[in-house]
Amino acid sequence: MKQNRIRKCLRAAALAVVALILVLAGTVFALWHNEFATLGSFRKLSDRDTAHHDGAVYELTVSGDYYFDDFLAQGGASNDSELISFVTKSITKGLIPLQLKTTDISCSAFTADTAEGDRVFGRNYDFSSTNTAIVYTNPGKGRHASYSTVDLHFLSLDPDKDVEGLGHKLLTLAAPYAPLDGINDAGVACGIFMSYQGDGKGTSTDIDTDKPDLTSTTLLRLILDYADSVEDAVALVEQYDLHDSTNCVFHYMVADSTGRSAILEWVGSDADHDNDGSQRRLNVLWNDTDSLSDSADWQVVTNFIKTPDYYTSPDQMHGLDRYEHLADRLRETNGIVADEDAAMALLAEVGRRTWNNDDSNSLTVHSAVYNLTDKTVLWVGNEHYGEDGRTFRYSLQK
């Protein structure tokens, strides 16, 4: 009889433990089910190749809305520390610290039409060897689905190692907050590019008015999530103060399927007197008012400010050689490329491995051609143009 009581007590204790485990499991699932689903989608598309200085390429599908509405509702963030604090608190509930960082981004981009009349946005991301992720988001709630590219080094992941183990993969949960370029399902594409302004060509833009705040990559996320057109993107950006990361300064190109495009840059008086990032103001260069373009049919951006009379000498214009090559090629064809593959071939012409490159570790990490009409993506990693297993295609068509 005593043994029966013991068995009953043990059974009751065991049931209580099981019930507690189920409650805890249910709580964890309720809190983190989107994060678990996101981590479960993370997969490698191509391997690192140290001999070729290639980083690995990954794919990530983000589940849920990643709290970007909440981020904007709190007024955004005026620096990286505030952004990191929000991302850690919202995504990992404060239990796992996440990190974000930025660095030099020397890139090229252009808009053009295909022979069939589709509008395309082509972009090279030039950097040292690093791992990247092609990230799909579909947050719902009146926001747009999108594909974007993230340099995983920006999430503090070692560029010289594969992303393995739960601890490393957890850092990818911050990916929606660090896009470099992308396209949404409204046919709006955007990219971010270094502009080398101020002392040491790295005085960050740091506007301080009564507007809410955005950091460099969250401004791009704002456009991908909410913009229905280029005009809409500009109107959204005008509502915020921009705060670039320390020692980095950027400008942007945004385009849509109508053929409209614009370059967004924050400038002071001129290149020799632009050392106070708080005094800069937004200047928008539309494709039909861009004085460096011969035609509204195309627009090009690299790494110098395009605002008229900003420079006193062409020697101050970083990436001018790449700019002139792309502009000359588009001028020859009146801004028309045969198709997405031809647009990719044009990006290959200014790829870092072949374009005035004396740094063996410097390369074009990825090239993307976004078809704004069909809402598709043609993506190539590490300058392996035309190679199977290195070329990826995606579609946002419903």
For residue range 3-49, list pLDDT tens digits in order: 555 544 444 444 333 333 333 334 444 557 899 999 999 999 999 99
Looking at residue 1, its pLDDT comes to: 55
Q: 3-class SS at 48?
A: coil
Q: What is the pLDDT of residue 97?
A: 74
What pLDDT, in 10s, does the model give residues 256-299? Answer: 999 999 999 999 999 999 999 999 999 999 999 888 888 899 99
Q: Which two tokens stand for residue 66?
A: 């990643």
CB of 357 closer than 8 Å to CB of 383 = no
Token duo for residue 74: 């709190």
Q: What's residue 15's pLDDT?
A: 34
Q: Do 31 and 142 have their domain in common?
A: no
CA distance 152 to 62: 15
Residues 244 and 116 both lie in one domain: yes
In the structure encoding, which two tokens stand for residue 290, read together? 């861009």
> Phi and psi for 259 in degrees, rounded to 5?
100, -5
- Torsion (CA) 371, 264, 247, 217 in degrees, nearest 10: -50
Per-residue confidence (pLDDT) for residue 137, from 0 to 100 = 98
Domain shared by 123 and 6, yes or no: no
Phi and psi dihedrals of 226, rounded to 5? -120, -20
- 62 and 17 in a common domain: no
pLDDT (0 to 100) of residue 359: 55
Query: What pLDDT, on a 0 to 100 scale, did the predictor assign at position 32?
Result: 75
Whether residue 119 is found in the same domain as residue 138: yes
Q: What is the pLDDT of residue 308?
A: 95
Burial of 148 (0-12, 13-18, 19+ CB in 10 A): buried
The C-alpha atoms of residue 38 and residue 82 are separated, in whole angstroms, by 23
20 plus 107 within the same structural domain:
no
CB under 8 Å, gap of 24 or more: what pairs does 343-348 form? 343/112, 343/114, 343/120, 343/122, 343/369, 343/378, 344/122, 344/369, 344/378, 344/380, 344/385, 345/385, 346/110, 346/122, 347/108, 347/122, 347/123, 347/124, 348/383, 348/385
276 CB burial (10 A radius; 0-12, 13-18, 19+) = middle
Residues 365 and 266 in one domain: yes
Residues 303 and 360 in one domain: yes
Q: Which residues in the chain land under pLDDT 50?
A: 7-29
Check which CATH number belongs to the domain holding 362 and give it: 3.60.60.10
Whether 350 and 251 map to the same domain: the answer is yes
State residue 366 phi and psi, 5-degree precision: -150, 155
Q: Is the pTM of this model over 0.75?
A: yes
262 and 145 share a domain? yes
Report CA-CA distances (Å) from 132 to 13, 122, 259, 299.
Answer: 49, 18, 29, 26
For 80-96, how does the pLDDT look when each residue is reduced to its tens digit (9 = 90+)? Answer: 889 989 998 888 777 67
Predicted local confidence at residue 104, as pLDDT: 63
Residues 266 and 356 in one domain: yes
What domain count does the chain have? 2
Residue 22 sits in which domain range? 1-41
Distance, in Å, from the CA atom of 232 to the CA atom of 136, rounded to the nearest integer, reads 22
Distance CA 244, CA 162 (A): 29
State whether 91 and 60 are in the same domain. yes
